[in-house]
Structure 1
């Protein structure tokens, strides 16, 4: 099926319990932009409504595990399906205005790429051997994700116990950023960071190509909010680097899994 055969391009940012769907027509006008339950009836209803505008192409960002149901429903309805690899999605996102990481924007990026850059799409209908390999990789990636979550929770527990303000400075996904993990692996916790001094920490980050200026400033601001040393801090400082290293290693392994998935779908 060529781009000329399509009338509606649907980008689906998939999630465990819900997705976000964004549909565009030939002219780039939005036909649909709503959250979507991870439910066959909801998916079928959405695709049925969009089919009234013509031939539909459904494009997902994950073709296995949580993306399997939408693809299966679409195939059952005779709707064309495709997959946008992660690297292509990140490059496309840089072409569009805004930099917020939201499900809604990601769905729009997927739909826009499908409409404007069809050469970036990959077939989402693998053969049996490829499908089996994808399932194995998906299971492996799920195990790695659980392992990463366990390590992150342990890291947060140590920081929360010894220096709550420092933990707050690394709220949300900030604690798992490459720059943050690199700093924690090198300096340990707040005590090690403070001992090195802000200039040394910034110099090291710059020399290692880390974009961490804001994070470092917030770290030192948080360090200044606590004057006492909580019992157990010294031991925590020796544990934190190894946990940060483990999280980085797991993340690298997950990235390798992503590369393997993309290679299988080429």
Structure 2
């Protein structure tokens, strides 16, 4: 197939499941607009389609993270030039383009047009070395685990407020292991009062809790400040136990 253009720009609104690609020519006219599943075969078809339309294809994406890893790897492996157009730039410029609302196709066209009009403003992308990619995977995974733990601790504290607010205030459950160990067995004021400081200290020491006596004293002191059992306490206590 003969190429009808010297150079075209392809903007890609990248996503986890699929991307949207829009190609424009030097005058900013749309050549094609298409949905591309995040799959090797479909991305390769897109690359071939674009290369058939021009002598030179310049690509632009709005995401340089995990969602676009396969896309970027295939583009760079096939010798294509790719730049990164930040999402904030796309959002800021979208209002200047025709069409209402936010759509993948509109965003892809904005990406392509910004790359066409501002060739020196955006960073070129390269496939990162294996070590960098590995560190990115591990870092993102660690961030997810931290976020999960924060949500879990917040949920635990919320449940404790419905059992005994004083007990919830007594400890920093995100930083101290001992109080969390205690909650695997004792969650209510009545249960803590029954076991008392001495026996709770012994119970915690058997589970290798540091500062067991201090933890036990604070917990029982909090329990002694509340004699009433709150509605839903038993169910909340079971959930606290499971979370702990």
1:134 deviates by 4.6
1:78 deviates by 1.3
Structure 2: gaps (5+ residues): 1-5, 156-244
Cα deviation 1:68-121 (Å, max 9, x = unaligned) = 111111112111111111222222223323451211111111111111122332
- Aligned runs of 1:16-35 on 2, under 5 Å? 16-35=16-35
Whole-Å separation in 2 of the counterparts to 1:7 and 1:15: 26
CA contact (8 A) 1:56 1:79 kept: yes
Distance 1:127 1:74, change over 3 A: closer
**TM-score, with normalisation over the residues of structure 1?**
0.47
Alignment-derived partner of residue 47 in structure 1: 47
Distance 1:27 1:99, change over 3 A: same
Whole-Å separation in 1 of the counterparts to 2:10 and 2:65: 17
1:31 deviates by 1.4
CA contact (8 A) 1:65 1:138 kept: no
Alignment-derived partner of residue 98 in structure 2: 97
CA contact (8 A) 1:64 1:134 kept: no
1:146 deviates by 7.8
Alignment-derived partner of residue 122 in structure 2: 121
Distance 1:74 1:127, change over 3 A: closer
CA contact (8 A) 2:47 2:75 kept: yes
CA contact (8 A) 1:64 1:135 kept: no
Whole-Å separation in 1 of the counterparts to 2:63 and 2:51: 22
**TM-score, with normalisation over the residues of structure 2?**
0.51
Distance 1:74 1:89, change over 3 A: same
CA contact (8 A) 2:19 2:36 kept: yes
Question: Secondary structure at the residue paired with 1:43?
Answer: helix
Whole-Å separation in 1 of the counterparts to 2:147 and 2:104: 19
Q: Cα RMSD (Å) of the superposition?
A: 3.2
Alignment-derived partner of residue 37 in structure 2: 37
CA contact (8 A) 2:81 2:124 kept: no
- Aligned runs of 1:1-266 on 2, under 5 Å? 7-52=7-52, 53-125=54-126, 127-128=128-129, 131=133, 134-135=136-137, 138-139=140-141
Distance 1:145 1:94, change over 3 A: farther
Whole-Å separation in 1 of the counterparts to 2:148 and 2:20: 24
Cα deviation 1:211-231 (Å, max 9, x = unaligned) = xxxxxxxxxxxxxxxxxxxxx
Question: Secondary structure at the residue paired with 1:7?
Answer: strand
Structure 1: gaps (5+ residues): 1-5, 155-266
